[in-house]
Amino acid sequence: MVEPRRKPILVVEDDPLDREMIELAFKRADIQSPVVTVSDGQEALDYLQAEGLFRERQPEDLPAVIVLDLAMPRMDGFEFLRRVKPTPALAAIPVVVLTTSEFDQDLSQSYALRANSCITKPGDFERLVEIVRAVHEYWCEINKVPQGR
């Protein structure tokens, strides 16, 4: 029996070291879903809209979940949420904010802009592996979204 094609996980992170650590954590957690990484909100928007570098992205390659940093150049996580969540074709994609910020204001604003979850980025790699495993398990395996997206 052929397994259904797995939807990718979109990681939006500007720091190259953090991006690499997150990718390694998904590998260490033995996550089979493809992981697509971009460096800011504008690149993530381009990916979702199949524009720019991502013109060739197939419609079925919309992500199962977006893992989003907040503090990024060009387009930060807040602006990304402002643009994505009101868009009907994209609104159902879960967004998990993964941030070093512990300011209540940042968490409140993320939820007000319809982030689905907020997680503090750990300093410990093994904890990061646990987090990405849990994110994948819940948002990619357990959670259900409408088929049309």
Q: Containing H/E element for 130?
A: helix 125-135
Per-domain residue ranges of the chain:
9-142
Output the pLDDT for position 6. Answer: 84
pLDDT block averages, 10 residues each, the chain of length 149: 76 97 97 96 97 91 96 95 95 95 92 97 96 96 74
**What secondary structure letter does DSSP report for 16?**
H
Q: How far apart are CA 44 and CA 51, in angstroms?
A: 10
| Reported CATH class of domain 9-142 | alpha beta
Contacts of residue 102, Cβ cutoff 8 Å, sequence gap at least 6: 120
Q: How far apart are CA 65 and CA 10, in angstroms?
A: 6
CA of 11: how far to CAs of 2, 87, 115, in Å? 27, 19, 14
